[in-house]
Homo-oligomer: A and B are copies of this chain.
């Protein structure tokens, strides 16, 4: 763990490389390009809107550290989280020409992003030298879209308990792909209000739903961490199934983790 902090710069962009490499084996040039994402970083505080509204800059970025959300607020205060943006996820990777409405993206934790203009240029060049990169990014886009479809099913046809289990499994799967899990444990640096906005539930009901999952010994949750105690049961009750398998089996070696906010020990 000690040396992780020393090599933090490498580790951060390594997240993006892991994700893409798990989707399509990257060649050396592609790996180098992806790792260079960390060269030009941007830091954001927690709770900051980094895209949408007035800020028109749609520079492509990759999240290297921290959590963010794409959300849609309603006029009367209701808020729906469309999807979570985790380390390795892209923002505006496909260009936003003309009058395309920009998504409203807000950080949930302090966040670091890498500049993905070089990556976008490589993808748009159509150069066959970037074949592996193109394939990986195409698959990454599939994953993003499939997650949207999962979100629709979750909100439309699952009960509160099922929704929660389903979302936790999705987050686990996505974090596992970028090496941010420890066994069945992962950092969940979000409040119950955020979970409520993602799942279309009230805060109170999220609280009670989590209690039920803990009471049934399906998960354990404390200090901003979750552990999935019975993955199979969780998958069963939530009709969850993996979108795309890893190329080389589950990633287990851990990287640095998003540690925020400070949470009391239950």
Cβ–Cβ < 8 Å partners of A100 in chain B: 139, 142
Total identical chains: 2
Q: Tell me whether B153 and A152 are in contact (CB under 8 A).
A: no
- Does A151 reach chain B (CB closer than 8 Å)? yes
- Does A2 reach chain B (CB closer than 8 Å)? no
- Does A99 reach chain B (CB closer than 8 Å)? yes
Q: Is chain A's interface secondary structure helix, strand, loop, or mixed overall?
A: mixed
Q: Tell me whether B156 and A243 are in contact (CB under 8 A).
A: no
CB distance from A126 to the nearest CB of B (A): 6
Interface residues contributed by chain A, number (CB under 8 Å): 33
- Does A149 reach chain B (CB closer than 8 Å)? yes
Q: Tell me whether B101 and A156 are in contact (CB under 8 A).
A: no
A24-44 near B? 1/0 per residue, CB < 8 Å: 000000000000000000000
Most buried by B among A82, A100, A156: A156
A200 to B152, CA, bound (A): 9
Asked whether A157 and B126 contact (CB < 8 A) given A74-B239, A101-B146, A239-B74, the answer is: no
Q: Tell me whether A148 and B148 are in contact (CB under 8 A).
A: yes
Residues from 129 to 178 in A contacting B, C-beta threshold 8 Å: 138-139, 142, 145-146, 148-149, 151-153, 155-157
- Does A244 reach chain B (CB closer than 8 Å)? yes
- Does A72 reach chain B (CB closer than 8 Å)? yes
Cβ–Cβ < 8 Å partners of A75 in chain B: 239
| One of B142, B149, B155, B239 near A156 (C-beta < 8 A) | B155
CB distance from A84 to the nearest CB of B (A): 13
A226 to B25, CA, bound (A): 52
- Does A7 reach chain B (CB closer than 8 Å)? no
Known: A74-B239, A82-B149, A155-B200. 7 other contacts (CB 8 A): A72-B149, A74-B153, A82-B152, A148-B149, A152-B152, A152-B155, A155-B155
A-B contact pairs, 13 of them (CB 8 A): A72-B149, A74-B153, A75-B239, A78-B157, A80-B152, A80-B153, A82-B153, A99-B244, A100-B142, A101-B243, A155-B200, A156-B200, A157-B200
